[in-house]
Structure 1
Amino acid sequence: MPDHIPNVQLRAWRNEHRLTRAEFAQLINQTATGISERLTVDEERIRRWEAGEVSWPRTPFRLALQQATGLSPEQLGFSPNRRNESRLVKARVMPVDALRAEADLYGTMELAQQLQASDVGPGTLEALAEAVDLLCRAYPVVPATTLRDRTQKRLAQVTQLLRGRLTFDQHREVLVITGWLTALLGCVHYDLGEREEAETARRAAFEMGRQVGHGELMGWAHEMAAWFALVEGRYEDVVKSARMGQAVAGSSSAMVQLTLQEARGLARIGDRREADRALTRGAKVLGTLAMPENPDHHFVFDHAKWVFYAATCYTWLADDDRAEEHARETIQMHTRADGSSNAPMRVADAHIDLGIVHARRGDLDAATEHGAIALDIDRKSLADLVTRAEDLDRLLRQKYRKEAAALDFHERLVTLRSNT
């Protein structure tokens, strides 16, 4: 698992201009600086720049990049201050341990007793906010049913505070905390195929954000609507909800997520030009945000997630080479040395992307192998994965209707679909 911050702004520029890495390298070499300095930029150098392995190229390369693109190195995502930064924050608690840490926090701070007594003593709200963050960080790896049950329990406890004596500021803080818990619960409900419960939670989270004027919380509620629409095949609604959310989200992770959801909706519609533009806008906003302390937090957008979303966009746009490039890098970024993953749902989708690419290229064995890997991953969003797997299944049945491998994949998908 690489220990670098991907340069998504540079990658977005190249993608929007529909250049391969080799073509981009040639463009740089042919600039005035490239010729005078006899630069020999190649695909590997572009890959290293995009992967974040080089955060501040040497002067001749920076000059040639500016001449080739018309943008400054900073606008292309490079930074002289990022040389020693790591994409992987050395967190005190890893996501796999977050649920246990959240339980320990409640016990240590005696929050359960304080909440039951509607007691907002010193540190109570700070501890509550930390507990909610831990639950949000558990989202990528904890089984959905386990996280749903824990979140429902905490939500019931926190809601008691709203009935107690609170100052205006305390009431606002509790509403925000309750809103994040409710949004998380909505996401987990949807992962489990509990769509009505998910929509009810989403609307409640939006209302709490509206009551206190919390733009980012409202933005994430709109993002959930866009996500639901994407899974359900309502692609015009994806774009509409994403743009509504962008109007309130401000400069935040929600803004990046909403812009990337817009890109996915546009890709489903087949609008390559606008999808590329949305991906580029998302990369630019992401470049203005501080590096997240906990990039595994469900309501935090990290640079690796941009690469993941781009993989799916280009799969839907049938740009197979670009889709494969982004999907493989997504798997690489999220796979540990022991083969486990810190983002199994992203890895599952990336394998579906690769399955579709291989199926279009005529490699049935590789297509079904990647599809099987996706279905075997334990932590999954059932509704989302079924929808993505149906794309692969549909293609396999069109091209390989009578092949045993295609039939086997179809039967596995039917079984999985029956659980949603």
Structure 2
Amino acid sequence: MSTTGRRLAPQPRSRLEQRVQGAHWTLREFCSAFNKAAGEIGENTQVSERQAKRWLAGASELPRPQARRVLEYWLREPVDRLFGPPSEASPALIAVNTEELLMSAGREAADHALNAATALASAALEALHAEAGRLARAYFTKAPLELLGELVKLRDTVYQQLERTHKPRQRAELFLLAGQTCGLLSSVAFDLGHAEAAEELARAAYTYGDVIDHPSLCGWARALTMSVLLWSGRYHDVVNVATRAIELAPAGTPRARLFAVKSRALAYLGAADEVATNLGACSDELDRAGNDALMDGVGGELSFGHTRRALCAGAAHVALRDGERAEIEAAAAVEAFTAHPVSQRWRAGELAAQVDLSTARVLRGDLAGAEYALKPVLALPAEHRTEALTQRVTGLGRLVTAGSFRGAVEGVRIRDAVTTWASDTLPKATATLELPSASELPGV
């Protein structure tokens, strides 16, 4: 048989190798084309030349799901077939048919262009942004369990929309929305007592921010992680996370929040001078705040102003057991919270300041004042009680039970009230959160 116009190729061992031979790709070209296709559909996976050799030989097991999706998108064949035997329709002697190759290339280019043009209506994105903003602000007033269902629904909707569009700008907006939603879910998960889920969700929010190079989202996500670590007693971890996050966060609100949470961890470590330094740095950042499109623009749980700074300062001085300074800061926080309209007031934050005020007065020996400050907290319905608030109240109970306060009449009443309050507090939510692990997040 004449081989004019043809070239001899080794017998392919798999359909995938048959496709590679037919396209005349080198191993490096195959890997480069695969990695490019992965980027086109937002899959965080690559193939090395060593791995590619095993694929082409047909001797390896099927690759990971991300790689399977890339191969099927790129080569337009089921992965089971690609890793199976070569097609009988293609002989070992491969004829180079220029016209056929050009037509195939044209069809693939047209299909890809059409797929890339798939987009969402601008109104759909506007609606998602509006819903995310509404829920961020609703965090201040809604019960955590009620908010959880709405956030999970929004998260699922965002994920569905990510599958519908391949326009880079729209995907970036959806990644931002996914990060914002995961961050809000992190706050709610922790409020309900799910610290591990809250930490994972905060990492997910950070991952989305990192994918789209959004420093404000990354900074907010790091602050959420720090809060979970703080309440879990991992104070050195908080400081370590904060040190790096502050370097990368934008000036103003994002950096202020990081300084504030860091100051609280330092307080538990007994570093009073560093607490003062970080609270001062927080105030300096707040003086230049107001222009961050995410944290200042969306507001609600994403916001961080002088009121929340006062709350953190009061909590830090409680941790330092400085009753006098703690009372000043906590009283200032209570006053600042009450200056906001009720519909815009973070109720859990306001009552947290009340608990800190009560604790500060106990540290100063003013049990009557402590009992008075605690009254609004004791009246809070169980469904609105959060993990952080519960930890504050039980900490107050332990303080009153200890030492010289044990036999005091006011101390006994506070202890009994705290015990009853804690027993009636909403237990950890039993509803399944159905949270994806960081490795399973769509498009990351």
What's the counterpart of residue 301 of structure 1?
A: 304
Per mean C-alpha deviation after superposition, the further-off stretch among 260-269 and 311-320 is 311-320
Alignment of 1:198-277 (within 5 A): 198-277=198-277
Counterpart-to-counterpart distance in 2, 1:163 and 1:370: 51
What's the counterpart of residue 83 of structure 1?
A: none
Counterpart-to-counterpart distance in 2, 1:223 and 1:190: 13
- The yes-or-no answer on 1:397 pairing with 2:405 is no
What's the counterpart of residue 93 of structure 1?
A: none
Change (3 A) 1:129 1:330: same
What's the counterpart of residue 59 of structure 1?
A: none
- The yes-or-no answer on 1:326 pairing with 2:329 is yes
Displacement after TM superposition at 1:337 (Å)? 9.7
Change (3 A) 1:276 1:156: same
Displacement after TM superposition at 1:306 (Å)? 1.5
Letter in 1 for 2:392: R
Identity %: 26
Deviations 1:283-334 (A, max 9, x none): 1111112268668521121222212221222222233232222222222222
Per mean C-alpha deviation after superposition, the further-off stretch among 247-256 and 134-143 is 247-256
Contact 1:349 1:385 in 2 (8 A): yes
Counterpart-to-counterpart distance in 1, 2:199 and 2:192: 13
Displacement after TM superposition at 1:257 (Å)? 0.6
Counterpart-to-counterpart distance in 2, 1:180 and 1:338: 25
- The yes-or-no answer on 1:358 pairing with 2:366 is no
Displacement after TM superposition at 1:229 (Å)? 1.4
What's the counterpart of residue 412 of structure 1?
A: 420
Change (3 A) 1:162 1:337: closer
Displacement after TM superposition at 1:122 (Å)? 2.6
Number of residue pairs matched by the alignment: 303
Per mean C-alpha deviation after superposition, the further-off stretch among 181-190 and 234-243 is 234-243
Counterpart-to-counterpart distance in 2, 1:131 and 1:338: 22
Counterpart-to-counterpart distance in 2, 1:192 and 1:131: 22
Contact 2:140 2:344 in 1 (8 A): no
Contact 2:144 2:191 in 1 (8 A): yes
What's the counterpart of residue 24 of structure 1?
A: none
- The yes-or-no answer on 1:385 pairing with 2:393 is no
Displacement after TM superposition at 1:381 (Å)? 5.3
Counterpart-to-counterpart distance in 2, 1:362 and 1:339: 32
Contact 1:348 1:375 in 2 (8 A): no
Counterpart-to-counterpart distance in 2, 1:359 and 1:156: 46
Contact 2:215 2:248 in 1 (8 A): yes
Change (3 A) 1:397 1:297: same
Query: Structure 1: which 5+ runs fail to align?
Result: 1-117
Alignment of 1:58-77 (within 5 A): none
Change (3 A) 1:143 1:280: same
Contact 1:347 1:374 in 2 (8 A): no
Counterpart-to-counterpart distance in 1, 2:330 and 2:129: 34
Counterpart-to-counterpart distance in 1, 2:344 and 2:130: 24
Counterpart-to-counterpart distance in 2, 1:223 and 1:262: 9
Displacement after TM superposition at 1:119 (Å)? 5.7
Contact 1:260 1:306 in 2 (8 A): yes
Contact 2:252 2:290 in 1 (8 A): no
Change (3 A) 1:388 1:407: closer
Counterpart-to-counterpart distance in 1, 2:353 and 2:426: 23
Counterpart-to-counterpart distance in 1, 2:224 and 2:340: 33
- The yes-or-no answer on 1:347 pairing with 2:355 is no
Deviations 1:47-80 (A, max 9, x none): xxxxxxxxxxxxxxxxxxxxxxxxxxxxxxxxxx
Counterpart-to-counterpart distance in 2, 1:294 and 1:120: 23
SS at match of 2:406: coil
What's the counterpart of residue 163 of structure 1?
A: 163
Letter in 2 for 1:323: A
What's the counterpart of residue 182 of structure 1?
A: 182
What's the counterpart of residue 101 of structure 1?
A: none
Counterpart-to-counterpart distance in 1, 2:125 and 2:335: 38
SS at match of 1:140: coil
Displacement after TM superposition at 1:209 (Å)? 1.2
What's the counterpart of residue 316 of structure 2?
A: 313
SS at match of 1:298: helix
Counterpart-to-counterpart distance in 2, 1:348 and 1:141: 12
Query: Structure 2: which 5+ runs fail to align?
Result: 1-117, 429-444
What's the counterpart of residue 282 of structure 1?
A: 282
Counterpart-to-counterpart distance in 2, 1:298 and 1:337: 15
Per mean C-alpha deviation after superposition, the further-off stretch among 337-346 and 317-326 is 337-346
Displacement after TM superposition at 1:227 (Å)? 0.5
RMSD (Å) for aligned C-alpha atoms: 2.5
Deviations 1:255-281 (A, max 9, x none): 111111011111111111101000111
TM-score (norm 2): 0.63
TM-score (norm 1): 0.66
Counterpart-to-counterpart distance in 2, 1:301 and 1:144: 19
Change (3 A) 1:211 1:336: closer
Letter in 1 for 2:205: A
Counterpart-to-counterpart distance in 2, 1:410 and 1:133: 35
Displacement after TM superposition at 1:411 (Å)? 1.7
Displacement after TM superposition at 1:338 (Å)? 9.5
Change (3 A) 1:158 1:338: closer
Displacement after TM superposition at 1:245 (Å)? 2.0
Contact 2:315 2:356 in 1 (8 A): yes
Contact 2:252 2:287 in 1 (8 A): no
